[in-house]
Amino acid sequence: MIKLEYFDREDFKQLIEWMNSEHLITNWAGSLFRYPLTEESLDWYIEDTNNLEKSDAFIYKAVDTKIGQTVGHISLGSISEKNRAGRISRVLVGNTAERGKGYCPGMINAILKIGFEELKLHRISLGVYDFNKAAIRCYEKCGFVKEGVMRDVLRYDDGTYWCLIEMGILEDEWRELHKKKKKETTTDCKDC
């Protein structure tokens, strides 16, 4: 099970270790960070976060509660109280050997619960580069719908351009999916 906890300075070292290439950093954060990731850039990243009165962003580490270890990173930002909207970004399952174990859907579902239940958002969006098929499958599994493609939005160092798929989910869609999953769990567990 995934639990989200606020990301802070104590978590810098782990994230820096995970960010071991320019390609990975660009895929994770677009042009927000450059390789190598540094503590100074992360100081700026967390400044005035995790407090809705001071910031429009919440930054988390994802902890696997079974083993008690940090396994990923995720943020929910661009929060607009007026529009009741937010945007998921910087999603990362840290250790490549841990991918495929359900951490990504666990992280996404946990942040959607925060967004829709705690922050009372109506819409949550995200962007994912079109070549990241595993992430796209994860987001669709969690109820996100493809809303469009922004062509050639990022020019990578090798001269190629990356396209960004915009995805979104509305609170009613999430609640319906959440209710359906709860019902399936109850139905599957006849002897519980």
pLDDT in tens, 31-52: 999 999 999 999 999 999 998 7
Read off the CATH number of the domain in which 28 is found: 3.40.630.30
For 14, the token pair is 């782990």
Q: Is residue 189 part of a domain?
A: no
Answer whether residue 50 is part of any domain: yes
Task: Output the CA–CA distances (angstroms, integers) from residue 192 to 73, 180, 183, 189, in the order listed.
Answer: 33, 18, 14, 5
Q: Residue 82 and residue 19: Cα distance in Å, rounded?
A: 35
Stated pTM of the model:
0.92
Residue-level pLDDT, tens digit, the chain, 192 residues: 999 999 999 999 999 999 999 999 999 999 999 999 999 999 999 999 998 788 899 999 999 999 999 999 999 999 999 999 999 999 999 987 777 889 999 999 999 999 999 999 999 999 999 999 999 999 999 999 999 999 999 999 999 999 999 999 999 999 999 888 877 765 454 443
Looking at the domain assignment, is residue 191 inside a domain?
no
The model's pLDDT over 84-98, given as tens digits with 9 standing for 90+, comes to 999 999 999 998 777
- Angstrom CA distances, 87 to 74, 170, 171, 185, stand at 11, 12, 13, 28
The boundaries of the domain holding residue 59 are 2-183
Total of domains in the chain: 1
Task: Classify residue 188: in a domain, yes or no.
Answer: no
- Would 146 be classed as within a structural domain? yes
Sign of the Cα torsion 136, 161, 41, 20 reads positive
* Domain presence at residue 175: yes
Nearest to 150 by CA among 162, 163, 135: 163
Please indicate, yes or no, if residue 190 is contained in any of the structural domains.
no
* Whole-number pLDDT of residue 13: 97
DSSP annotation of 156 = -
